[in-house]
Every structure is written in structure tokens, then in C-alpha cells.
Amino acid sequence: MVRWFFRVTGAGSTPATVPPHQSPSVAIDRPKELARAAVPKTVDRDQAKIRELLRLEFECAADFSLSRGNVTAAKILRQLAKTTRDVEVSVLHAYAQLLDDISDPAPSSDELRQIGVDWFPRNAAEYVERLASAREDARASTRNGD
């Protein structure tokens, strides 16, 4: 999916092949068999890892909000963490792309701080969409020299 996600999780690496001297007696074309068997599982596993990263972002933000006394934000963030199961694949991909661009984490932090104060998102997908929009606005203003 994205470089950063692969570096952090170790996902996406190619399966190791068995050296000839250790191969089983049955002639099996291992790379083809592994490719057929591993592709759906790898994709599902990658999506699960991205969902988990999103859920952990909400859980950590909820803990921080609670430590600062913002119970409303903590409740909303915990609810958002529960909705990560329902996030569509395209939204997960957008979130993974945002993670890939870790050069400027400010939009993510800004959006998280607004939850429960200025903004009350209904689900995790709404959060990711707004985060992607904020990141795009920040890039546009940088390109325009603002």
C-alpha cells in the first residue's frame, strides 16, 4: 500500500523461498503456490493493520484527552475507535497515504484536538476524510506561497 506502512509493520515483503537442498520431495512450484495463497491474506492483513493503527490513534488521543480532563472528547474518540471496523477500503487507503507523508503531522494533531471542542465526527471515516481534506488544503497553500 504505502512505503511508511510497509517499513513500520514489515508488511508487503515477499515470502521466502525454500533453498533447493531443503525442498520437499514433492515437486511444487513454491513461488506460484505462495503467490496464489498469500495475496488475499496479505491484503486483508495489511488492511487490518491500517485499521489497527487508526484505532490506536483514537485510543491514544482518548487517553490524552481524558488525562487533560476533556471527558467529552475522550468519549467521542473511544466511539470513533469502535467505528474503525466499518471504514471502507478506499478510506483506509487514504489514511495509509496520510501516514506515508509523516513530514508534517500537524494536520492530524490539529484535527484530533478539535474533536469534542469544535468538531464532533460521527465515525472514523468522517475523521479520515476531513484529515485528508486538511492535508490537501495545507499542501495547496504551500504551493501557492501562503
Mean pLDDT is highest, among 39-48, 58-67, 112-121, for: 58-67
More confidently predicted of 28 and 111: 111
The model's pTM is 0.65
Q: What is the predicted pLDDT for the residue at 30? A: 44
The structural domains of the chain, with segments of one domain joined by +, span: 31-143
- C-alpha to C-alpha distance for 128 and 87, rounded to whole angstroms: 9
